[in-house]
Amino acid sequence: MVLLPNVYCSEMLLVSSSNIGRQLCPRSTVLLACHSQSVVAISGRKSSSTPDVPSERQRLVILGSGWGSYSVLKYIDKSKYDVQVVSARNHFLFTPLLCSTTVGTLEFRSIVEPVRGMGFRQSNHFHLAEAVDVNMETSTVKCQSLVKEDIVYDLKYDKLVIGVGALPSTFNTPGVEKYAFFLKELTDARKIRQRILNNFELAFEPGVSPAEAKRLMHIVIVGGGPTGVEFGAEFYDFVYQDMCKLYRDKDSWVKVTLIESNKILGSFEPRLQRWAEKQIKSREGYSITKDIVTAVGEDHVVLGDGSTIKCGLVVWSTGLAPRQFTKDFQVQKNRSGQIVTDAHLRVLDAPSDTVYAIGDCADIQGNSLPCTAQVAEREGQYVAQSLNADPSLAKPFKFTSMGMLAYVGGFKAVTDTPAAKFSGITSWFLWRSAYLTRLGSWRLRLQVPMDWSKTMMFGRDTSYF
């Protein structure tokens, strides 16, 4: 999606209070990894206590493992801080390439980097848990294990960084939670992939009518931002490059409808918006509908004008909403429910230089920034560098966008940077190059090109599992 080197519309799930984490973690026995200094109390049906051990390092607790939190973890001086990470997932997810995993262009493990091993001095500094409360008077974070739910405990902190991200906003549209698919996590991408393959296989089953087969092969994408456009682009590549060979005779039945109430890629320059829209509309079976969705059913969506579109899959990609942790955190919020910070990214109602908030869950007073990966990463780097030095001497945070990129399919993309604005295959090459250089490790920088090469030579893997 968007980024140069990495702008991706919010999609940064910096999680500590994520409900998604519940789907990722087995409900089985867990070794509760808590540093002896950091665990001050355990509550619930199970409890334990650990004596305090003197340390020269301050205790830094980071909530989340998305772009902002991962950036703090990457740049913080671990010789100065005893770092504790609380997150509902034990990996960092490179969200700009998440759409590519839905159709098999990339493998799922090619865009994740484990949080453990990020320069920790010990192996017990990561907590597969969600933060449920913060007590700023006692400087503790209440955590609930996601491996065994009856384990609840407090972590002591000297410094706290909140980077829990945000959830997709449904705008209270009926049926979205039950029938639509979001695209924020690997679990979401896997569900979409399974539904696509299941629908295609079902369309070829004996006894399935042509009308039902066409419904199964009709995909509706709600939201014309970078995520929606890039998912449609990846699906187009799958149909054009693979489906025409693997699902012959019925590949012409595939249809994609992109629903956007305003303009697609609204944050891009108008000329690039028009070019991208023209590319999408020129494809057989692809269309753009300018309307809103008022309801989502099991096999259809209802538009604002009352009309109904039959479909086999709805991908919902519109807006952000605060997580439950953010809602419950008793500090100043803006109209969108984000935590308000000062120009140094410090929470307004918190003790000075103690609690910071970054990424999609936060908003700078008087300087609202877009919810993108690029913003979250820069904020995380700024906080880490401030803590490494003297926070009281840090200059206010300033953000300058490096630009945006979006893939539109067919080896074409759009580039919108301060230096240049262009589109086409050159932009696609820049899109891939930019993402490749921003991957978190050399393992991923080798693995992703290998996946791209395999896709080019052998096509996408359509195994159903």
Torsion 267-271-272-278 (CA) sign: positive
Q: Same domain for 150 and 86?
A: yes
In the predicted structure, residue 17 carries a pLDDT above the cut 50: no
In the predicted structure, residue 398 carries a pLDDT above the cut 70: yes
Q: Same domain for 368 and 412?
A: no
For position 246, what pLDDT does the model report?
Answer: 86
Which region among 13-17, 79-83, 148-152, 175-179 has the lowest average model confidence (pLDDT)?
13-17
For position 23, what pLDDT does the model report?
Answer: 38
Q: Same domain for 66 and 151?
A: yes
Q: Which of 358, 393, 428 is the last residue of a domain?
A: 393
Percent of the chain at pLDDT exceeding 90: 79
The mean pLDDT value of the chain amounts to 88
Mean per-residue pLDDT, 354-371:
97
**Would 447 be classed as within a structural domain?**
yes
In the predicted structure, residue 251 carries a pLDDT above the cut 90: no
- How many structural domains comprise the chain? 2
189-196, Cβ contacts within 8 angstroms, sequence gap of 24 or more:
189/98, 189/99, 189/101, 189/102, 189/108, 190/101, 190/108, 192/102, 192/313, 192/315, 193/101, 193/102, 193/103, 193/104, 194/464, 195/312, 195/313, 196/102, 196/103, 196/235, 196/313
Residues 6+ apart with CB under 8 A from 452: 105, 106, 432
In the predicted structure, residue 147 carries a pLDDT above the cut 90: yes
For position 54, what pLDDT does the model report?
Answer: 43
For position 440, what pLDDT does the model report?
Answer: 81
Helix (H, G, I), strand (E, B) or coil at 432: helix
Contact between residue 424 and residue 409 where contact means Cβ atoms under 8 Å apart: no
Terminal alpha carbon distance of the chain: 27
For position 119, what pLDDT does the model report?
Answer: 64
Q: Which of 393, 414, 430 is the last residue of a domain?
A: 393
Mean per-residue pLDDT, 349-354:
89
State the pLDDT confidence band at 107, using cuts at 50, 70 and 90: very high
Mean per-residue pLDDT, 191-220:
95
For position 393, what pLDDT does the model report?
Answer: 85
**Would 93 be classed as within a structural domain?**
yes
**Would 97 be classed as within a structural domain?**
yes
For position 118, what pLDDT does the model report?
Answer: 76
For position 121, what pLDDT does the model report?
Answer: 63
User: In terms of Cα–Cα distance, which of 226, 210, 300, 238 is closest to 268?
Assistant: 226
**Would 399 be classed as within a structural domain?**
no
In the predicted structure, residue 48 carries a pLDDT above the cut 60: no
- Residue 249 Cα to chain centre, angstroms: 36
Q: Same domain for 294 and 428?
A: yes
For position 245, what pLDDT does the model report?
Answer: 87
For position 391, what pLDDT does the model report?
Answer: 82
CATH number of residue 285's parent domain? 3.50.50.100
Residue ranges making up the domain that contains 347: 21-168+321-393
Percent of the chain at pLDDT exceeding 70: 87
- Taking the C-alpha atoms of residue 382 and residue 408, their distance in angstroms, rounded to an integer, is 32
**Would 9 be classed as within a structural domain?**
no
Q: Same domain for 40 and 121?
A: yes
State the pLDDT confidence band at 345, using cuts at 50, 70 and 90: very high
Q: Same domain for 420 and 299?
A: yes
In the predicted structure, residue 22 carries a pLDDT above the cut 80: no
Residue 47, judged by CB atoms within 10 A of its CB (0-12, 13-18, 19+), counts as: exposed
State the pLDDT confidence band at 50, using cuts at 50, 70 and 90: very low
In the predicted structure, residue 28 carries a pLDDT above the cut 80: no
Helix (H, G, I), strand (E, B) or coil at 285: coil
Name the one residue in this structure whose structure tokens are 């740049």.
75
For position 123, what pLDDT does the model report?
Answer: 67
Q: Same domain for 66 and 213?
A: no
431: phi then psi, degrees, rounded to nearest 5? -55, -50
For position 39, what pLDDT does the model report?
Answer: 40
Mean per-residue pLDDT, 433-438:
93
User: In terms of Cα–Cα distance, which of 15, 150, 27, 7 is closest to 88?
Assistant: 15
Which region among 164-168, 250-254, 328-332, 342-346 has the lowest average model confidence (pLDDT)?
250-254
Q: Same domain for 86 and 212?
A: no
Q: Same domain for 254 and 347?
A: no
Residues 6+ apart with CB under 8 A from 376: 12, 14, 66, 67, 68, 71, 163, 358, 359, 360
Q: Same domain for 219 and 73?
A: no
Q: Which of 393, 420, 437 is the last residue of a domain?
A: 393
Which pTM value belongs to this model?
0.86
**Would 5 be classed as within a structural domain?**
no
Q: What's the Cα-to-Cα distance from 344 to each of 60, 72, 356, 453, rounded to whole Å?
A: 17, 14, 8, 44
Amino acid at position 100, single letter: S
Calculate the CA dihedral of residues 205, 206, 211, 216 and round it to 10 degrees. Answer: -10
**Would 279 be classed as within a structural domain?**
yes
Q: Between β-strands 286-289 and 255-259, what pairing exists: parallel, antiparallel or unpaired?
A: parallel
In the predicted structure, residue 461 carries a pLDDT above the cut 60: yes
**Would 12 be classed as within a structural domain?**
no
In the predicted structure, residue 276 carries a pLDDT above the cut 50: yes
Mean per-residue pLDDT, 330-347:
96
Q: Same domain for 139 and 283?
A: no
For position 55, what pLDDT does the model report?
Answer: 56
Q: Same domain for 52 and 95?
A: yes
State the pLDDT confidence band at 465, using cuts at 50, 70 and 90: confident
